[in-house]
Structure 1
Amino acid sequence: MSTVLGALRRLLLAPSLAEVGFARRGFPGPHLAATHWLEAVPQSVVCGFEWGIDARDQWELERRLELVEPAMRGFAYEGATMACTVLDAMPGGRGTRTRELLLGPGRPHIFLAYIGIGFAMARLPRPLWRTVLPDLPGMPYHPTMSWLAVDGYGFDRAYFDTGRIVDAQERPKSYPWQGFAGYFPRAVDQGIGRALWFVHSARPADVDAAVRRFAVDRRPDLWSGVGLAAVFAGGCGREELVRLREAAGEEWPELALGAVFAAKARAFSGTVPGHSEAATEVLAGMSVRDAAVLADDVADDLRGSGDVPPYEAWRQRIRQRCRDLRSAGPVR
């Protein structure tokens, strides 16, 4: 078994841009324009990670990140947050890089920043996980949305260990994140669902088939992850999105739930690409603006109970509101 120090040394070796490409990962499908776009997502994360490791100070890191085109900038902040989390956790680390980044220039990208923390968790020894979430006073949605860190952990495991996590459907060991060990596997599955969108190059038929190979009880959270990825990352046109919505069938509310979360994240970042607007309309039946308002409308007085954290209480309310809106009229 490797030592903690040995594992931490390897953290400094970020994957190359080619290594995160679909061909190198063995993901099927032709190399089309949509594939190139989707590949740019993990490549942006890698760039953000490398900049976060190398930057002399936060000003330099911010300047580098601001050079990334707006639609991809949040993904670069994912990587930068991952780097800051790693540096904070390492012996001798300053311990405040992540906090300073997220309370400063990373604030608009807080949703993706949580995911970046999850990427770091996938490489850090578990005893260090209790230190990775910074205190963010006054930050909206914190710590409720910190479950996206677990989502990020699940995505990373599925993307880089596809044979075990996707093909063999291995369930990662649980962990008492925010005191809710029983919910941990569900948040992991949300991240695995997001990864399926990339693993199958945003092809609805293949994504649907991949979801249905999992146990029935895991599919709702997988569909939620698919919806989040389809809206935030994009990768296909309207006709394909309609097929994706139809493929989800009775689990459409889960797809819509993920779409609303992604729309909220995009709206909060201040950058809403055309693909996010189009996908939110098809998958959730509303505009990005309306989806963001919906998410905020049901966010008051969130409380956990039993094995359900406040994060899931929020998801339940959004899911139910999507059902109610659909019953009032067909999704366009």
Structure 2
Amino acid sequence: MTVLGALLRPLFEVAPTDLPPAATDGTAAAERLSEVVYTVTECCRTTLLNRRETALLAKLDAYPDELLGFAYEGAGVGLAALDHLLPWRGRTRRFVAGPASAYVFAVYLGAGMGLARLRRDPEPFRRRLCDPVFNWVVLDGYGFHEGFFAHRRHVQERATPRHLSGYALNAFDHGLGRSIWFATGAEVKRVVATIDAFPAARRGDLWAGVGLACGYTGGVDEPTVRALRARADEHRARLAEGVIVAARARRQVGNGAEHNEVACRVICGIDSAEAADVAARALADLPVDEVEPAYEIWRRRIRRQFA
């Protein structure tokens, strides 16, 4: 493990100065993020130390239901790192094709984070996944990492990665929006001001990312969610889109959460079960001819119901 540990050390080298100040200011949102980051990091280590799937699954599934998605996200970080070193093994692809199929969203988010930490272009990895719909989630995870751990460059200076183009930049901005939720301490005025500083063409994807973070991870009370909905203005459908995606990710594996119920009710006007049904119906008969990403068609079908 000495050589492997040296190669994978960047996965765990995070200095407090790398984090946006609001991420460590002791607020409820910061405490929630701390819990999530700890779970993801711990499960990344667990994945690197438990190469046999049966042993890994037993350790991941020991987490409380509400944190299981983050446990599998951590597994995605570790699996992507191992696939980077041994690409012919295809560990991530096998994992989501088998025992982790219900956690495909979480695993792919983690994979994108892992590639970002190792400073690798996520596009070759994404294409190897052979998933015509959800492989784009890797770019979401990548965007979250860059928005959170390279906050000045990608959020304050609004730079985009030079190696990404086309729809990859849209998916990147989904993750960037999630990072803004936590980098601002989920303080609504700061969320809005941060997004409004971006070019208008990017704001919809950022709001969709904020919706996913609010609906999946939470960290705020109901009045804050109501304020968020009120301030989204013309982007409310994109905010709802993110909440619906979060509801599907949670309901698919049966680990619902009260903050997801609140987000669905306040932002979408439906409960989480109905929200998950909206997402499931939107997946029906998706074209996968690659003329347009099936993932984007799915998300567009969702937001049209809230336009």
Task: Give the structure-1-normalised TM-score.
Answer: 0.83
* Match runs of 1:72-111 below 5 Å: 72-91=67-86, 95-111=89-105
Q: 1:112 aligns with which of 89, 92, 106?
A: 106
Alignment of 1:210-221 (within 5 A): 210-221=194-205
Q: Which residue of 2 aligns with 1:31?
A: 26
**Alpha-carbon offset, residue 70 of structure 1:** 1.5
Q: 1:245 aligns with which of 226, 229, 235?
A: 229
How big is each residue's C-alpha offset from its partner over 1:176-199, in whole Å with a ceiling of 9 and x where there is no partner?
xxxxx4111111111100100111
Q: State the partner residue of 1:162.
A: 151
**Post-superposition offset of 1:103:** 3.1
For the pair 1:195 / 2:189, whether they are aligned, the reply is no
User: How many equivalent pairs are there?
Assistant: 304
Alignment check: 8 A CA contact 2:211 2:239 kept? yes
- d(CA) in 2 for partners of 1:20 and 1:227? 28
Q: Distance in 2 between matches of 1:306 and 1:56?
A: 34
Matches within 5 A, 1:144-163: 144-163=133-152
Q: CA separation in 1, counterparts of 2:248 and 2:99?
A: 18
Structure 2: distance between partners of 1:247 and 1:172: 29
Contact 2:11/2:118 (<8 A) preserved: no
- Amino acid paired to 1:309: P
Contact between 2:81 and 2:114, CA under 8 Å: does it hold in 1? yes
Deviation digits for residues 233-278 of structure 1 (CA, Å, limit 9, x no counterpart): 0011111100000110111001001111111111112100111111
Counterparts in 2 of 1:1-332, with a 5 A limit? 9-15=6-12, 19=14, 25-28=19-22, 30-91=25-86, 95-124=89-118, 126=120, 129-131=123-125, 142-175=131-164, 181-303=165-287, 308-323=292-307
Report the structure, 1 or 2, having the larger helix content. Answer: 2
- 1:7 touches 1:124 (CA, 8 Å); kept in 2? no
Asked if the contact 2:260/2:272 (under 8 Å) is kept, the reply is: yes
Deviation for aligned residue 1:38: 2.1
Provide TM-score, normalisation by structure 2.
0.90
Matching residue's letter, 1:157:
E
Q: Structure 1 residues 147 and 200, CA, compared in 2 at 3 Å: closer, same or farther? A: same
**Kindly, what percent of the aligned residue pairs are identical?**
32
CA deviation map 1:195-247 (0-9, x unaligned): 00111122211111111111111100000000000000001111110000011
Separation (CA, whole Å) in 1 of partners of 2:75 and 2:174:
22
Q: Name the structure 2 match of 1:139.
A: none
Distance in 2, Cα, partners of 1:316 & 1:167: 28
Secondary structure, aligned partner of 2:264: helix
Query: Which gives a bigger RCO, structure 1 or 2 (Cα 8 Å, sep 6+)?
Result: 2
5+ residue gaps, structure 1, are: 1-5, 137-141, 176-180, 324-332
CA distance in 2, matches of 1:106, 1:20: 31
Q: Is 1:20–1:43's contact at 8 Å kept on the other side of the alignment?
A: no
